[in-house]
Structure 1
Amino acid sequence: RQQLPHLAHYDGRCTSRATPKKRALIIIALVVILAIHARLLITNNLSRFTQTKKSITAETVLLEDLGVFKLPSGLQEPPHMSDLDPNVLIEVGRKDIDAVHSEALIHIGAWIFVTDADGLFLLIQRGPELVTCPNAWGIVGEHTTPDEEPIETAKRGISEELGDDLLDEIKSIQNLTETPQYLVFDWGHRVDRQLTYIWHAQLGKRHEDLHLVLDDEVANHKWLDMDKLKKQLRKEINGTHEVFCVPTETEYYVNMINTTKLPPER
C-alpha cells in the first residue's frame, strides 16, 4: 500500500521540541501556580488557627474558676439590693461556676445597661438552653474572673455578648452606685449571691448604625426608650407581660440612669 508522503517517516515519537524561551515560560508558570497554591494553604491554616485560638480563649474564660468570698465573722448577711463595700469580703478560694451557685457562695459580677446615642436601652433575650431565666429578657451580665478589675468585667461582658466592635463605640461607661450591690436570688435549683457592679455604658452611635455580633447564648435583642421599658417592666412586675429576668431590680436601677441624647457624630 502506498504511504502518504507526510506520514512516511512517522515513528511514534514527538519530533517537536520546546525552545529555551518556551521552557522558561513553562517553568515560570509552574512556579506561579505553586506559589498561589502555597499561599492558599497558608491562609486557610492561619484562618483555622485563629478560629481555634478564639474558641479556646472563649472556652478558657467561660470555664475559668470564679473567686469566692465570705463575710467576716460577726457581720450579718446584708439584705438583697444593699450597698456592700467589697473590701470587707474575705477571699476563700476559687470554684467553678456550677459549684459557686449550687453552694450559694458569694462571688463578684457586673450588670451593664447599654444605651445608644438616642438614649434607647438595649435588651437581650436569653437563650432557651440557659439554666437561669431561659427565654427571658434582660440586660448584659457577666461574672468577674480572678484578678480582673470591675471595669474589665463590664467591657468583657459587652464584647462577649454583643461583639468586639461595640467596645469601640462606647462613649462613656460609669457606675450607677457608689458601692457595688449585694444581690441574692433564690432560683430554687440554685442560689445566686453576687456582689454586683452596676454599669451604664452609653454608645456614641444610634442603634441603626451599630454592628452587633450576638453571643450564642443570646437569642434576640431589641431597643426601647425609657418610657416603654418602664411600662413593660411594670407590667411584668404585675404579672401581665412577657417574661423579664429580675424585673423589679432592673426597674430600680433603670431609674438611676440619665439618658441624655448625644449629638450626632461628625
Structure 2
Amino acid sequence: MKRFAFKKVYLFFSSLFIFILHMPFVFAKTKTAVGFFDNNASVHPIVAKDSPLVNNINVPAEEMNLYDSLRLGSLGLARQAFDYAMKGFSVMKAVGEISNDHIISIIDFSKPSSEKRLFVIDLANYKLLFNTYVAHGMQSGKEFAKQFSNRPESNKSSLGFYETQGTYIGGNGYSLKLNGMEKGINDNANRRAIVIHGAEYVDESFIHSQGYLGRSWGCPALPQRLHKAIIDVIKNGTCLFIFSPDQNYLSHSRILNRPQGPMMAYK
C-alpha cells in the first residue's frame, strides 16, 4: 500500500512539473491567435509587415485594414491613396487639427472623372457611407486631373489635406467651406473660394456624352442629388484628403513627410 501511495504522489508531481514547463508555450500561442480587438470584441488582423506605412507612423491596425474589409480596392480606391490618407489623418489627429475624427473623405484623382472617386468613410463604425463622382478644376485636365495649383484664378484643383468647416448658401447653393492645411499647396483654399458644392455637370449624362464629367473652377463639385447629404455628414471638422500620385506634392507635403516625434509641427 505504501508503495502504491508513493507511486500516485510521484505521478502527480511529475505531471505538474511537465504542465508548468509547457505553460509559456500555451500562453504564447494564445496571444498570437487573438490579434486586435475593438470595443465590440471583433477581431482585426495584424497589419502586414510590408505595408508601406507600418514603419512610418502609428496608424491603428483596424483603420489600416478598412481597405480590405470594406473592399475599397474593388470599388476603385488606390491602395496608395488610402495609405497616405490614413497617415495624414493620424498626423492631423495627433496635433489636434481635426475636431471630428469619426469621418474621413478621400478623393482619388489617380482615377478619371468618369469613375466614382470620392469615398466617405465612417471610421467609428467601419462603414463606407458614400462613393460617388467628383469633378476637378477645368485647367487641371479633361478626363484626368494632372495639373494642380494653389494660385488664385488658376482654375486648377489643389491636392492635400483639408479640414472641413461650416456650411453656407452661395451662388452654387448649399456649400461647404474648406480649410487647406498644407502651406504652399492648398492653404489658399479660402481665398480662392474652393468649396464643396453640387453641380449639374457632375452627372452620368455628361460622361455618356463626352466621356468625362464637366469641370469646376477648382472646387471638388459633387452630384446635385447627393451633395447635401454628403456635406451634412462631413461638415464641421472632418478630414478631407485629395490624392494624386503627383511627385511634386508627395515630396513637398509636410504632413506626409512629417518627422517622427510626439506633437511635432508640420507647418
- TM-score normalised by length of structure 2: 0.28
Question: Relative contact order: is structure 1 or structure 2 higher (C-alpha 8 Å, sep ≥ 6)?
Answer: 1
Specify which structure has the higher proportion of helix: 1
Specify which structure has the higher proportion of strand: 1
Structure ID, larger Rg: 1
